[in-house]
Amino acid sequence: MSDIITVIAPVNIAVIKYWGKRDEDLILPLNDSVSATLDTSIMCAKTSVCARADFKEDAIWLNGKKESFDSPRLQNCLGEIKLRAAAEKSVSEDFLQRKVHVCSENNFPTAAGLASSAAGYACLVTALAKLYKVKSDVSSIARLGSGSACRSVYGGFVRWHAGINPNGTDSVATQIVDSTHWPEMHALILVVGDTKKKTSSTVGMRIATQTSELLKHRVKYCVPERTEEIIQAIRQKDFPKFAEITMKDSNQFHAVALDSYPPCVYMTDVSHFIVDLIHKYNTASGSVKVAYTFDAGPNACLYLLKDEVPKVISLIKHVFPTSKPESFITGLSSGEEVLSPALM
Ligand code: ADP
Ligand code: DP6
Ligand code: CO
């Protein structure tokens, strides 16, 4: 028999979006990105892993449904963990030969633009690293599962450096500030739609990389400056600056999706209504109090300071008196939860 290892991992929502790869296999991005890692008390992935001599094949269940383990991303993650375990001599040769079973669940919509791939792969590689007693940093292994996952391994605000090396050794995530730096910062998730997106992030950014002229402009002329500016705004706790860059970057990312051929449409009428509502709210407030950002899906993530939370929640309830959009409020994660085994 072997132990079952269970861990949880947080989602992260980017304020400077990663969209486009220069290497599809190593998952190397065209541009740097910046995100905040959200507290696991509301949204998280939970993954259990187990390796046993009597297992006949590697297998994975995602949200209760058996999926193929043949995906190159799963193979790369497991393969890299085993290579590290062999190099670190952390488990026996016999243990390395065993097949592994993985069981993972997200307590929020999967593949709907709420960063399930980020939480999911951060969780998977953290669980595998514990199972194989791998001590070295797993962020770059999480990147092999899903690019955005390399950021979910750390708490607070995180930057993923695109890097320039063809082998990806400098394409790493680093923490900008930890979650204690800006404790007033909160995220309000508005679930507009919970169905699986028509075009996955992987496919959407592949089409953009191949066809969008705007993406080339964004990567060269917009993201580098924005990245430096938003990092400065985060360090100085300059909310209006942080919010303006966040909203502009979300808008430009969705413009790139539309500039792709064929176009990818991730936002819905309700998403656009929320954009409009936030701009009106900020204008009425006399300064920028709330920022919206949308990943590759219809759901909004609002960044706002604690004082604004009750006002914005009552506004949302007033404007959407029925259940949609469902809303979750959360602070930022310290990132430590990812390392603590959870109970089954
Ligand atoms: P999202 O916007 O939710 O990140 P993506 O299109 O980027 O959507 O990725 C969705 C895919 O990520 C899923 O189809 C699945 O392959 C993978 N994924 C999501 N959650 C998990 C998980 N908990 N464990 C392993 N893989 C996951
Ligand atoms: C819009 O990391 O899901 O959420 O690397 O192909 O798995 P793959 O894509 P993924 O893309 C995330 C795109 C985004 C922006 C972001 O998180 O930076
Ligand atoms: Co994703």
3-state secondary structure of 285: helix
Q: Which residues does ligand 1 sit against, CB inside 6 Å?
A: 45, 62, 104, 106, 110-118, 120, 123-124, 146, 200-201, 295-297
Q: Is the ipTM of this complex over 0.95?
A: yes
| For the CA of 110, the nearest ligand | 1
Beta strand 65-67 with 5-10 is: unpaired
Whole-number Å distance, alpha carbon 19 to ligand 2 midpoint, is 7
**Exposure class string for 34-71: b at 16+ Cβ within 10 A, else e:** bbbbbbbebbbbbbbbbbeeeeeebebebeeeeeebee
Measured in degrees and rounded to the nearest 5, phi and psi for residue 5 equal -105, 130
Q: Which residues of the chain have pLDDT under 50?
A: 343-344
Give me ligand 3 centre to Cα 300, in Å.
Answer: 15
Question: Using a 6 Å cutoff on CB, does residue 171 contact ligand 2?
Answer: no
Separation of alpha carbons 38 and 12, rounded Å: 6
- pTM for the model: 0.97
Report pLDDT for 343.
45
Q: What is the DSSP pairing of strand 59-62 with strand 21-23? A: unpaired
Residue with the nearest Cα to atom 4 of ligand 2? 295
Complete DSSP assignment for 117-150: HHHHHHHHHHHHHHHTT--S--HHHHHHH-GGGG
- Give the three-state DSSP class for 341: strand
For residue 195, give the ligand nearest its CA: 1
Cα angle value 25/77/135 (rounded, 5°): 130
Overall size of the chain counted in residues: 344
CA 145 / ligand 1 centre spacing (Å): 9
**For position 341, what pLDDT does the model report?**
56
Determine which residue's CA is closest to atom 24 belonging to ligand 1: 120
Distances (CA, A) of 85 to 96, 121, 150: 8, 18, 19
- What beta strand segments (E) does the chain contain? 5-10, 12-16, 21-23, 28-29, 33-37, 44-52, 59-62, 65-67, 99-106, 157-160, 173-177, 185-191, 290-294, 300-305, 326-330
- Parallel/antiparallel/unpaired status of strands 44-52 and 5-10: antiparallel
CA 148 to ligand 3 center in whole angstroms: 6
Q: Cα(121) to centroid of ligand 1, in Å? A: 8
Is the C-beta atom of 33 inside 6 A of ligand 2?
Answer: yes
Over the stretch 200-243, which tens digit does the pLDDT of each residue have?
A: 999 999 999 999 999 999 999 999 999 999 999 999 999 999 99
From 6, 17, 74, 110, mutation site for ligand 1 pocket: most ligand atoms within 8 A of C-beta: 110
Q: Is the CB of 17 under 6 A from ligand 2?
A: yes
| Spacing, Cα 110 to ligand 1 middle (Å) | 6
CA of 115, closest atom in ligand 1: 4
